[in-house]
Amino acid sequence: MGVDDDALRSAGVGATTLQPAPGEASRGVRARVPQRLWRNLTPDRTVVVVLGLFVFVVHDVGYVLGQPFWNDEAWVAVTTRFPLSQLPATTSSTPIGWSVLVRVFTLGGDQTSRLLPLAFAGGAVAVAYWFARRLDWPNHTAAVTAGLLAALGVLLTPAMLVRNDLKQYTTDAFFALLTLALTSRLERVWSRRGLAALSLAVWGGMLFSHTVAFVGAAALGAVCLVQLARRAWRQLAEATVTAAITGALMLAVYASFDARAVNPGLTAYWHHYYLPVHNGVHVGIRFVTARFTAVHSYFGLGPA
């Protein structure tokens, strides 16, 4: 049935008279929110959500939440006992942003904070799917298959399966994959927004992950080299300026939070994990091959 607007106006019924009551308006908004979520939940996004939640299936969550902390975890968990203002002084072996998030996840019991590494593990699975899915595959089937295989690889990699303790290693995986995914997208479709997102992921990620500093430096260097090889001078200038700004922000994060946490005992412990650059090339090669031998099982790789 139609409504004669002219007749309503002539009868003195204004537009405000036809507005719904406040309660009805709020109910309408609440009804539209789930509808919008359902519309945005595309098959691709559904797959990502399901794969991310599978982290809580492949890990024994009940066991994880029921075990006491071991020594390295206790160093992290104890920071929640101090006032937030003392966090820079009490954080040592983990990034300060990670210590802040631990406080958020420490709810009913101390062990609930172990849900934080599992959450980042789920995020790493989702990013791996996005990374591989968006590469230049010949068709949709190949793209989805690649995304699924990459996500399953991250989900079931032994290193990810054993890292369910209160350490930031799954966060390292998440930010490393996020940096690579943003770099890949930027190589295919250049944009200043994409360049800014990569920069933010690198220097902002340093608040939660130390690994992203190395991955990010390599990514920004690769972006500059690609533009140089393409003779894309404007893009090279933008990438160079962004890399310089990002480097300055990375140094600021390091000086503000990481440098003050350097502990001689910790640095002495990790000394043998660094490349012995002063002992000659042959010693360096043996060191690198030994590291591959030491970590290949964590990635599910064979001896070769």
Are 31 and 158 members of one domain?
yes
Q: Is a pLDDT exceeding 70 seen at residue 31?
A: no
Contact 159, 298 (CB under 8 A): yes
Q: Is a pLDDT exceeding 90 seen at residue 30?
A: no
Between the alpha carbon of residue 298 and those of residues 59, 122, 255, 292, the distances in Å are 16, 18, 32, 10
- Residue 10: inside a domain: no
Contact 190, 236 (CB under 8 A): no
Amino acid at residue number 224: C
- Residue 125: inside a domain: yes
Query: What pLDDT shows up at residue 32?
Result: 56
Contact 93, 266 (CB under 8 A): yes
- Residue 18: inside a domain: no
- Residue 12: inside a domain: no
Query: What pLDDT shows up at residue 299?
Result: 84
Range from 20-24, 132-136, 258-262 that averages highest in pLDDT:
132-136
Are 62 and 159 members of one domain?
yes
pLDDT > 90: percent of the chain: 53
Indicate the residue among 101, 135, 164 that finishes a domain.
Answer: 164
d(CA 86, CA 39): 45
Strands (E), the chain: none
Query: What pLDDT shows up at residue 219?
Result: 97
| Local confidence band at 35 (pLDDT 50, 70, 90 cut-offs) | low
168-224 pLDDT tens trace:
999 999 999 999 999 999 999 999 999 999 999 999 999 999 999 999 999 999 999
Burial-class residue 262 by CB neighbours within 10 Å (0-12, 13-18, 19+): exposed
Query: What pLDDT shows up at residue 23?
Result: 53
Give the lowest-confidence range in 39-43, 140-144, 172-176. Answer: 39-43
Q: Is a pLDDT exceeding 90 seen at residue 225?
A: yes
- Residue 268: inside a domain: no
| Local confidence band at 29 (pLDDT 50, 70, 90 cut-offs) | very low
- Residue 17: inside a domain: no
Range of the domain at 296: 274-304
Query: What pLDDT shows up at residue 160?
Result: 92
Are 229 and 247 members of one domain?
yes
d(CA 239, CA 220): 8
| Local confidence band at 9 (pLDDT 50, 70, 90 cut-offs) | very low
d(CA 117, CA 123): 10
Q: Is a pLDDT exceeding 60 seen at residue 14?
A: no
- Residue 280: inside a domain: yes
Between the alpha carbon of residue 8 and those of residues 1, 2, 5, 61, the distances in Å are 15, 12, 5, 63
Q: What count of residues does the chain have?
A: 304
When divided into structural domains, the chain yields a total of: 3
Copy the structure tokens of residue 277. 């650059």
Are 194 and 78 members of one domain?
no
Are 225 and 131 members of one domain?
no
pTM of the model: 0.82
Query: What pLDDT shows up at residue 82?
Result: 87
Between the alpha carbon of residue 98 and those of residues 102, 170, 206, 222, 228, the distances in Å are 6, 11, 10, 28, 36
Burial-class residue 161 by CB neighbours within 10 Å (0-12, 13-18, 19+): middle
Query: What pLDDT shows up at residue 100?
Result: 92
Q: Is a pLDDT exceeding 90 seen at residue 34?
A: no
d(CA 165, CA 183): 30
| Local confidence band at 18 (pLDDT 50, 70, 90 cut-offs) | very low
Higher pLDDT, 153 or 271: 153
Contact 128, 81 (CB under 8 A): no
Chain mean position to CA 165: 17
Mean pLDDT across 155-162 = 91
Are 90 and 157 members of one domain?
yes
Are 77 and 103 members of one domain?
yes
| Local confidence band at 4 (pLDDT 50, 70, 90 cut-offs) | very low
Higher pLDDT, 28 or 114: 114
239-278 pLDDT tens trace:
999 999 999 999 999 999 888 777 777 677 777 888 888 8
- Residue 228: inside a domain: yes
